[in-house]
Amino acid sequence: MEKTKIDLINQSTACRYCGTLTTRPVYCCSACEKLDSDFSFLKHQNDNNPHSYLDKPEYAASFLNENQYHFFIENLQCSSCVHLIEKLPEFYSECTVARVNFGQNLLTIEMTEKGQLSEVARLIEDLGYTAYLIKKNDYQNSARNKSNRADLKKIAVAGAVAGNLMIFSFAIYAGADGIALEFFRWMNLILFLPLLIYSAQGFYVGAWNSIKYKTIHIDLPIVIALVSSFVFSTINLVLGSNDFYFDSTASFIFLILLARYFVKITQQHYLSPVRLGSSLTNQKYSKLDSTPIVSEQIKVGDVIRIENNQTIPVDAILVSQKALVDTSYYNGEALPQVFSEGLQVYSGYKNLSEPILIQATSTLQSSQLNKLLTQTQDSLLIKNDYINLSDKLSKQLVSTVFILAGLFFVIYGYIYSYNESFNRVLALIVVACPCALAFGSPLTMAIAFKKAQKNGIALRNANVFEKLTQVKNIFFDKTGTLTQGHLSLIQTWPENINEELKSVILGLEKKSYHPIAFALRAAWKNTQTSPSLQNVQESFGSGVKGQIITPTDHHDLVDTYEIKSLPENMHEDDLAVVVLKNSQAVARLYFNDELREESEKLVHNLQDHHYNCFLLTGDKKSRALQKGQACGISQNNIFAELYPEEKKSIVEKYHATMMIGDGLNDSLALSASDIGISVKGSSHLTIDSSDVLFLRGGLEPLVELFKIGEQAHNTLKRNLTLALIYNITAGSCALLGLINPFWAAVLMPISTFIVLISSLWGFRK
Amino acid sequence: MNILILIIPMALLLGAGFLYAFFWATSNGQFDDLSTPSLRMLDQDSKHNKNDTKENIL
């Protein structure tokens, strides 16, 4: 693994514009290339804007959110992308403000009244970005920012209070007397009030819910400790005693608030600002009479034209005679399929052939794709019920502490005095309050998140680490997960094909969106495409035909070239074609969707560690067996020709599951598994239904994830042990009457410090 | 000792002042996005100095 990393660095050069190391030639991304140029590629013309449908007032209004429009930009790469997009007002004078939020892939636009949304959309596209307008109702960022700001303010107040209280308390412990002592004593109370009333609000809500739903939540003991220490300290203040818990309570509230905030923002970072939604909304299509129509407005019976490389938005019947369709997004089938007139096609299919006509049999709302989406959303709701380890343990600890405190109060109070009994019980609750627990777990999580992020792993759910240690069954998707997800040319006959023939073959495939065409273009990058081909005809599913006509003195010499697919029983690869020149075979080309380099090693590695590996795919049985067994997955664990629902039900049969996938067809299984992982390049919906997203290509981050998971688990366990030891020692001291507020103020920071060191230590490698 | 009576309210007032400043900054959204501004700062390419910064890069 180390080696491949080093290889990558060796190959890379610095981007000419921004200096980022990159494996691409000259520039790291198109933004840098454009920023280094003179912007002449932007053609300012108002006619024929493909986005003009956005300007309809009722349509534009559904996106306007407090004078701002928000776009989700898919392919932001580096700082240059930010600069380039923020230059929008220079290119379009009606646009007044353009602000990018890099972390969340968001663009915020403000315009004058004359500004046209279509123009902005076109400019963004011209700059080379894929942008989605976010609907007003789907935009969650303003609500999120509002709550984050409120949290920050609460933390600021708690911090200020805790810091000042410490200074004043220190003066009291140090032996202040006279007016100064009185002054400091009352200042303690006054300073504590903002924290009690303002900063701790969140805990009250949590505690109230805990009572309402009759569950033990960590907020409940925190509130009890907070309120009882406040009441006790105030009574002592009035009675003239110096036994206060103001300072120690304030500092633990501050620390807990801080740790929680870190966990919250790290998680938010990866939640997309757009709510779970189909990427097919707001897409433009055209009707039979070429009037534009937006995907949501398509009604049953409408005849829609689907351009080359466009996705079918609704379930429909094919009207055109034939169509070559990529169904991988929907069912994971690796190779495109031919559909003929009258057959049912589903939303999410992609048209690879010439423009076709379809007649809608559903609306966007009632399409199969949308059903899948709703089901996924439903299963996500169920999933959040998971109870994690530290929660369970802290519940037990909390119950133990309270039972102990109750018993002690009654018995000691009965034997000696209730007054002294109350003092000791309160010391127990304040000292043994699960500070180390409440602070330690979120801190461990935050560090683990941060480390995962550095390794190209985005987590959307803090429970992932705890669930990781329990995982036994790992399900892999085939296409795009174990394999690279696209065909590559792996073998040719004859071994060396001359440049002339290559250029003819490329010429034949020039206009094609068939995976073979992409594979050939990738394999023969340096070959020129032959310009002299005539009469090129693509016949659906079976091949391409074309002619080269060379004029000679007497008559024209006609060479007919043809590319035909070979039947499956003649080869062992995913796809093979033969090239014919005047009906004579001149070359054969073999294609395969190759396994990723690391797949085999990874699966073997996992099986050595007693994980059960499975392969789930919508693709053909033969291909699934071939690829699965090449990875070392046993035949009984390979399931092929599955629909999304079937994938889900297989995953549900097992416990402690992890599913790794990339396609829409995996999304149900992803949300049904305990841990759903989507690999880089996954579709939007897939990302939304999984807990983990790999930002680095391939499956290598999985190894890293398991390692971080183990570290997190060990650290959590150590923190819990430390907290337990601390709680038992400090608790018994409190019950023996050895703890006074001074010792509480000393012990609590020490325990926090130990947990902090322990957490950092756990992730040192 | 009497000087404390003066110093402590002043210290608290100073603290309150900073707290207010923090509140003001938060309300203005200065902490909403912590990653992009650091990138924005690197934009060398404002209109008038475009040419000389180019040479600095190369």
Which CATH fold topology does A457-483+596-695 show? Answer: Rossmann fold (3.40.50)
The count of CB pairs under 8 A between chains A and B is: 68
Residues of B with CB under 8 A from a CB of A: 1, 4-5, 8, 12, 15, 18-19, 22-23, 26-27, 29, 31-36, 39-40, 42-43, 45, 57-58
Paired strand residues for A459: A692
Could you tell me which chain A residue has the CA closest to the CA of B18?
A160
Q: Write phi, then psi, for A248 (nearest 5 degrees).
A: -70, -35
Region A371-383: mean pLDDT is 60
A85: Cβ–Cβ under 8 A, 6 or more apart, which residues? A31, A73, A98, A100, A107, A124, A127, A129
Region B42-50: mean pLDDT is 52
Per-window interface: A 123-162 vs B, CB < 8 A: 145, 148-149, 152-153, 156-157, 160
The fourth-level CATH superfamily of domain A488-592 is Calcium-transporting ATPase, cytoplasmic domain N (3.40.1110.10)
A102: nearest CB among B27, B36, B43? B36
**pLDDT band at A40, cuts 50/70/90?**
low
Inter-chain touch A79–B42, beta carbons under 8 Å:
yes
Q: What is the pLDDT of residues A512-567, one digit of tens each?
A: 777 888 888 888 877 777 777 777 777 766 678 888 887 777 777 888 888 888 88
Q: Which amino acid is at A398?
A: V
Higher pLDDT, A106 or A30: A106
Inter-chain touch A149–B1, beta carbons under 8 Å:
no
A101: nearest CB among B27, B33, B43? B33
- Which residues of B fall within a CB distance of 8 Å from A103? 33-36
Inter-chain touch B33–A152, beta carbons under 8 Å:
no
Checking if the pLDDT of B50 tops 80, the result is: no
- Residues A164 and A188 sit within 8 Å (Cβ to Cβ): no
Q: Report residue A679 CA to chain centroid gap.
A: 10
Inter-chain touch A17–B57, beta carbons under 8 Å:
yes
Q: What is the pLDDT of residues A148-194, one digit of tens each?
A: 899 999 999 999 999 999 888 888 888 778 877 888 888 889 999 99
Checking if the pLDDT of A100 tops 70, the result is: yes
- Residues A323 and A339 sit within 8 Å (Cβ to Cβ): yes
A101: nearest CB among B1, B36, B42? B36
Residue of B19, B48, B53 to mutate, testing the A interface (most A Cβ within 10 Å of its Cβ): B19
Could you tell me which chain B residue has the CA closest to the CA of A90?
B47
Checking if the pLDDT of A381 tops 70, the result is: no
The reported pLDDT for the residue numbered A387 is: 41
Per-window interface: A 46-105 vs B, CB < 8 A: 79, 82-83, 86, 99-104
Which CATH fold topology does A2-139 show? Answer: Alpha-Beta Plaits (3.30.70)
Q: Write phi, then psi, for A70 (nearest 5 degrees).
A: -120, 130
Closest CA relative to residue A254, chosen from A147, A149, A163: A163
The reported pLDDT for the residue numbered A199 is: 93
Q: Among residues of chain A, what percentage have pLDDT more than 70?
A: 86
Q: What is the pLDDT of residues A640-687, one digit of tens each?
A: 888 888 888 999 899 889 999 887 778 888 888 888 888 876 666 676
Distance CA A61, CA A63 (A): 5
Domain assignments of chain A as residue spans, ordered by start = 2-139, 144-270+388-446+712-762, 457-483+596-695, 488-592
Closest CA relative to residue A313, chosen from A299, A327, A295, A331: A295
Interface ipTM:
0.78
Higher pLDDT, B46 or A336: A336
Reduce the DSSP state of residue A326 to 3 states and report it: strand
DSSP A241: -
Q: DSSP for A370-401?
A: HHHHHHHHHHHHHHTTPPPHHHHHHHHHHHHH
- Most distant pair of Cα atoms in chain B: their distance: 65
Name the minimum distance, in Å, from the CA of B48 to any CA of chain A: 14
A35: nearest CB among B8, B12, B45? B45
Beta-strand relationship, A337-340 and A303-306: unpaired
Higher pLDDT, A266 or A639: A639
